[in-house]
Amino acid sequence: CSVTEKLHNGSPPNIIIMLMDDMGWGDLGVFGHPAKETPNLDAMAAQGMLLTNFYTANPLCSPSRAALLTGRLPVRNGFYTTNGHARNAYTPQEIVGGISKDEILLPAMLKKNGYVSKIVGKWHLGHRPAYLPLENGFDEWFGAPNCHFGPYNSSITPNIPVYNNSEMLGRYYEEFPINVKTGESNLTQIFLKEGLEFIHRQTKAQQPFFLYWAPDATHTPLYASRSFLGKSQRGRYGDAVMELDYSVGQILSSLQSLGIEKNTFVFFTSDNGAALTSRTNGGSNGPFLCGKETTFEGGMREPAIAWWPGNIKEGTVSQQLANVMDLFSTCLSLAGISAPDDRVLDGLDLTPVLLNLSHSLENRPIFYYRGNEMMAVRVGQFKAHYWTWTNSMEEFKQGVNFCAGQDVPGVTTHNQTEYTLQPIIFHLGRDPGEKFPLSVLTKEYLDALRSVSAVVEYHEKTLVPGVPQLNMCDQAVMNWAPAGCEKLGKCLDAPKSKPWKCSWPH
Amino acid sequence: CSVTEKLHNGSPPNIIIMLMDDMGWGDLGVFGHPAKETPNLDAMAAQGMLLTNFYTANPLCSPSRAALLTGRLPVRNGFYTTNGHARNAYTPQEIVGGISKDEILLPAMLKKNGYVSKIVGKWHLGHRPAYLPLENGFDEWFGAPNCHFGPYNSSITPNIPVYNNSEMLGRYYEEFPINVKTGESNLTQIFLKEGLEFIHRQTKAQQPFFLYWAPDATHTPLYASRSFLGKSQRGRYGDAVMELDYSVGQILSSLQSLGIEKNTFVFFTSDNGAALTSRTNGGSNGPFLCGKETTFEGGMREPAIAWWPGNIKEGTVSQQLANVMDLFSTCLSLAGISAPDDRVLDGLDLTPVLLNLSHSLENRPIFYYRGNEMMAVRVGQFKAHYWTWTNSMEEFKQGVNFCAGQDVPGVTTHNQTEYTLQPIIFHLGRDPGEKFPLSVLTKEYLDALRSVSAVVEYHEKTLVPGVPQLNMCDQAVMNWAPAGCEKLGKCLDAPKSKPWKCSWPH
Ligand SMILES: [Ca+2]
Ligand SMILES: [Ca+2]
């Protein structure tokens, strides 16, 4: 009998995905941060499984989140741009597009087996009405459609709205204050309360739930509640981490006090690597190269912990190559729902690994995309870079540095450098920091190239790119008058539509 | 009553110091190595205390080891050179000097309370007869006086002898083979057996013991036993780490099976940071800057675990600033022996921290020396660099790179750059990787400078440098005819004495 059948002697488990924003692999004590200020996450790992080779699908918020919820690479689900080569695109509030109606999101799938789904926090898959969470399978939402940048002058740019379900409740920097100077905001506490309240309500109702808990305190502008401000050795970034760690602890202990911990699968990860360009206001990618925006390990390898007492063996470590798209397939498997068969899925069902039924799944590749370009591929311990770049020399000279303090000649390049005929190959076991390319004259290089090439050829031959959704921008589509603004007297006048091709500088 | 009195209601504990060679902070799973191939060390940390701010006294073998065994900075105990400014010196076999007769070593002190002491592995405090372990307080020795470099052509250079107590048993690459090509050598197994045999014998004799276990498999040329070769994801370096990790596990479990674990204090650390210039044959310094030979965090912050079931609380983490010289003072305290009062000691007694009697000791400074120069000082979270350099541009251009892949302008310099008038200051909490110097225009900089300056002034005013022992070299003093060579027919003819001032290139 299959894993899924074995699991479903009982009711399907509740599912909680905790997705951090710009938190790096090296920010957790259990992944080696010297400050060791994440006791709750470290305990979560000790009670569950640590995944050391877990990846995002793109080193930027929106495409990463789109991949998680669709189980598909951004180049398939449309969360990319063709305005330039190898450019990271996302959903600022001037974006016209959003998640395509052709995509099926995880909460819509889970509904087939009676799940009630809530997203708490950052959505980032399009802020125009048709793209919002409740139009895409979620039953509830508390949070915002875009990043919490601001405050803006509302005659030029509206502040980002905070929604409760399908109507706005207020705006950041207005009803939901963030003091950019002091870093004070109680948003993480609000997101925690919203998550806990949903868990309690669903438990009482005896309905299986999916909670997608996506707080954004570690994305600049950084914030923390008053009781966490100044508490970390690491400054404001560390304060935000400590409050998130505390919140994770609160959620896990509430599962235990409700007695549902053995029926709730919890997965903790982050959407992309730490933003090194934020300097001491950014996180740590531990021993890995560069960070957010790049396809080096620091941009795409993510902290990952799976927790499910009684099901996932405590204190285990898995070396399985895995990624955020696997969460889609895995959650469907846990819920006893067949995956959609009318589209290509990039995720694998990780339940055999999580439940320790097998040591590892097939030798699956990891693809590192930047926009429309496959920059690199990992097969086993080998990672082949076909294209390298960090950002333009122009931008770099202005102080934007995705690899602060790091410099690997020919690798951390400031122009788009093509290596498609002879990729740069690293052995990530011996060289997780991507500093010492294999010599192209070695047998090891040739053997690695042969196995990677086969994977790449198949991928490129079979890939059908989706229609790019992140090409057009327009001031008129910004959050001038979100649903519910009338009741609050918070509608703003939109300027005339004047669409342009968005510019994605890196 | 004092900690020491409290402890000595019973018999004084056995003491084991496990000192690795060139192993980096980031090589342990518990300190974040992605390969997670140190299950025994990770378990040791889970059963004991992890120290995240533990330092060596110098980023090179010999001075580090001299500091550990004397409790004094190398600039005091003579393990430095004045042949050049800010140069790292050690004890190759052409060195004339060694540990000064004026120094009192830990085993000589421990003898006062009946301890029997053994060193297993690398000594590195001088190989001429008067400098050997049994002349300096140890009762037993199995190992070698110098690094295991080789093999040499014996008409030009003798291979390094391996001693059993005061007589040689053979030489590396001869009776004690290391296959430089395959990396095979069973030396770690021999060192393990020697350690275990001593523990068993002392336990039977009911005599307190001090075991200084100093294997060198992670120093190039790397080696491992056949059963570990090829087992790591990390190549030969990882194989060596796995065998050392296995050996640590064997030692701890033998303490448990002998029933003496509650009466044996065990401390694990390394002598200096990972050698980044060895590229994929070197270890990892995790998130820290540069490595061996440098006074950046990667050169001097060390993995450290204290283990003493029933005494040290399990699963604890201490942020106490501590260093290898503290082991001298701490071991004396554990043994109930007063520290010598006729000399300056640089170590602190860590027992209040280890036994959780107080959260931290006084705000003690950490000094970062390179030869005769105090390069940097840490006070609290602030580290001030007064001098920076990695190595000369000449050497760097020949491929010797102590900071491979890393480049922090003005910090990772290739000439000796003086900042004594306006030190570069980092906040190691926010910036453990030493990438973002504080602006000299900030109040934070000025406050930090004030507190560091007071410490530095006092240190410089009161420091009385010892007579430098590492200035002279001579081919005639090499290991041509170690004690015991006659019996084995392994004596070689020494050339005529022709001393010269040793050249220390970095
Ligand atoms: Ca993000
Ligand atoms: Ca060493």
Q: For B95-154, what is each residue's pLDDT tens digit?
A: 999 999 999 999 999 999 999 999 999 999 999 999 999 999 999 999 999 999 999 999
CB B91, CB B125: distance < 8 Å: yes
Active-site positions of A read: 61, 124
Q: How many CB atoms lie within 10 A of CB B488?
A: 16
Give yes or no for residue A2 having a pLDDT over 60.
no
Please tell me the number of Cα atoms within 13 Å of A106 on its side-chain side.
31
DSSP-derived pairing of the beta strands B161-164 and B140-144: antiparallel
DSSP-derived pairing of the beta strands B305-307 and A472-473: unpaired
The SS3 of residue A311 is: coil
Chain A, window 238-297: residues with a beta carbon less than 8 angstroms from a chain B beta carbon:
238, 279-280, 284, 286-287, 289
Q: Which ligand is nearest to the CA of A24?
A: 1
Q: How confident is the model at residue B440 (pLDDT cuts 50, 70, 90)?
A: very high
Q: Express each pLDDT in B29-77 by its tens digit.
A: 999 999 999 999 999 999 999 999 999 999 999 999 999 999 999 999 9
Say whether residue A298 is in contact with chain B using an 8 A CB cutoff. Answer: no
Residues 6+ apart with CB under 8 A from A450: none
Helix extents (H) in B371-422: 393-397
B124 labelled catalytic: yes
DSSP-derived pairing of the beta strands B167-171 and A472-473: unpaired
Higher pLDDT, B349 or A363: B349
Q: Express each pLDDT in B286-314 by its tens digit.
A: 999 999 999 999 999 999 999 999 999 99
SS3 content of chain B, % helix, strand, coil (to 5): 30, 20, 55
Tell me the CA–centroid distance for residue B6 and ligand 2, in Å: 36
Please tell me the number of Cα atoms within 13 Å of B142 on its side-chain side.
17
Closest alpha carbon within chain A to B45? A30
CA distances from A280 to A122, A233, A256, B189 (A): 23, 12, 36, 45
DSSP-derived pairing of the beta strands A424-427 and A382-385: antiparallel
Cβ density class A305-337: b for 16+ within 10 Å, e for less: bbbbbebbeeebbbbbbbbbbbbbbbbbbbbbb
Q: In angstroms, rounded to a whole number, what is the distance separating the alpha carbons of residues A253 and A250?
A: 5
Q: Express each pLDDT in A419-457 by its tens digit.
A: 999 999 999 999 999 999 999 999 999 999 999 999 999
Give yes or no for residue B160 having a pLDDT over 90.
yes
Mean pLDDT, residues B477-485:
98
Q: Which residues of B touch A427 (CB under 8 A)?
A: 235, 280
Instruction: Give the model's pLDDT for residue A6.
Output: 52
Residue A171 bridge partners (DSSP)? A161
Cβ pair B34:A52 closer than 8 A: yes
| CA angle, residues B9, B12, B13, in degrees to nearest 5 | 120
Instruction: Give the model's pLDDT for residue B359.
Output: 67
Cβ pair B279:A233 closer than 8 A: no
* Order of strands across the sheet that contains A209-214: A167-171, A161-164, A140-144, A116-122, A209-214, A14-20, A264-270, A304-307, A49-51, A316-318
Instruction: Give the model's pLDDT for residue B24.
Output: 98
Closest among A352, A353, A390, A382 to A365, alpha carbons compared = A382
Distance from CA of A233 to the nearest CA of B (A): 5
Q: How confident is the model at residue B361 (pLDDT cuts 50, 70, 90)?
A: confident
Cβ pair B26:A287 closer than 8 A: yes
Residues 6+ apart with CB under 8 A from A442: none
Give yes or no for residue B1 having a pLDDT over 70.
no
Q: Predicted ipTM?
A: 0.95
Instruction: Give the model's pLDDT for residue A362.
Output: 76
Look up residue A322 and give its two tokens. 């895995």
Q: How confident is the model at residue B182 (pLDDT cuts 50, 70, 90)?
A: very high
Q: What is the mean pLDDT of chain A?
A: 96
Q: In angstroms, rounded to a whole number, what is the distance separating the alpha carbons of residues B169 and A173?
A: 76
Mean pLDDT, residues B438-453:
98
Instruction: Give the model's pLDDT for residue A314.
Output: 96
DSSP-derived pairing of the beta strands A387-388 and A322-323: unpaired
Q: Express each pLDDT in A248-282 by its tens digit.
A: 999 999 999 999 999 999 999 999 999 999 999 99
Q: How many CB atoms lie within 10 A of CB A468?
A: 20
Q: Express each pLDDT in A92-141 by its tens digit.
A: 999 999 999 999 999 999 999 999 999 999 999 999 999 999 999 999 99
The SS3 of residue A370 is: strand
Give yes or no for residue A8 having a pLDDT over 70.
no
CB B280, CB B237: distance < 8 Å: yes
Tell me the CA–centroid distance for residue B21 and ligand 2, in Å: 4
Instruction: Give the model's pLDDT for residue A4.
Output: 52
- Best of A47, A242, A435 to disrupt the B interface by mutation (most B CBs within 10 Å)? A435
Instruction: Give the model's pLDDT for residue A147.
Output: 97
Q: In angstroms, rounded to a whole number, what is the distance separating the alpha carbons of residues A205 and B258?
A: 56
Q: In angstroms, rounded to a whole number, what is the distance separating the alpha carbons of residues A295 and A287?
A: 15
Q: What is the DSSP letter of B336?
A: T
Q: Express each pLDDT in A166-198 by its tens digit.
A: 999 999 999 999 999 999 999 999 999 999 999
Q: In angstroms, rounded to a whole number, what is the distance separating the alpha carbons of residues B271 and B301?
A: 10
CB B249, CB B42: distance < 8 Å: no
Q: Which amino acid makes up residue B354?
A: L
- Compute, in degrees rounded to 10, the torsion defined by CA atoms B329, B330, B331, B333: 90
Distance from CA of A257 to the nearest CA of B (A): 24
Tell me the CA–centroid distance for residue B370 and ligand 2, in Å: 14
Residues 6+ apart with CB under 8 A from B117: B106, B107, B110, B111, B137, B138, B139, B140, B209, B210, B211, B212
Q: In angstroms, rounded to a whole number, what is the distance separating the alpha carbons of residues A170 and A329?
A: 35
Instruction: Give the model's pLDDT for residue A254.
Output: 98
Backbone angles phi, psi at B503, to 5 degrees: -105, 120
Instruction: Give the model's pLDDT for residue B6.
Output: 52
Q: How many CB atoms lie within 10 A of CB B165?
A: 16
Q: Which amino acid makes up residue A95?
A: I
Residues 6+ apart with CB under 8 A from B409: none
Tell me the CA–centroid distance for residue B88 and ligand 2, in Å: 12
Look up residue A191 and give its two tokens. 């997101």
Q: What is the DSSP letter of B478?
A: S
| Closest CB from A31, A53, A405 relative to B407 | A405
Mean pLDDT, residues A298-305:
98
Burial bucket for residue B309 (CB in 10 Å: 0-12, 13-18, 19+)? middle
B200 labelled catalytic: no
Q: In angstroms, rounded to a whole number, what is the distance separating the alpha carbons of residues A61 and B132?
A: 61
Residues 6+ apart with CB under 8 A from A255: A199, A261, A264, A266
- Model-wide pTM > 0.95: yes
Tell me the CA–centroid distance for residue B241 and ligand 2, in Å: 14
Mean pLDDT, residues B438-448:
98
Instruction: Give the model's pLDDT for residue A1.
Output: 39
Instruction: Give the model's pLDDT for residue A356.
Output: 84
Q: Pick the catalytic residue: B1, B8, B85, B124?
A: B124
Instruction: Give the model's pLDDT for residue B11.
Output: 85
Q: In angstroms, rounded to a whole number, what is the distance separating the alpha carbons of residues A169 and A463?
A: 42
DSSP-derived pairing of the beta strands A301-302 and A54-55: antiparallel
Give yes or no for residue A9 having a pLDDT over 90.
no
Cβ pair A32:B53 closer than 8 A: no
Tokens 């050698």: give the residue. Answer: B275
Instruction: Give the model's pLDDT for residue A361.
Output: 81
Q: How confident is the model at residue B360 (pLDDT cuts 50, 70, 90)?
A: confident
Q: How confident is the model at residue B357 (pLDDT cuts 50, 70, 90)?
A: confident
Instruction: Give the model's pLDDT for residue B7.
Output: 56
Give yes or no for residue A476 having a pLDDT over 90.
yes
Residues 6+ apart with CB under 8 A from A227: none
Cβ pair B287:A406 closer than 8 A: no
Instruction: Give the model's pLDDT for residue B187.
Output: 98
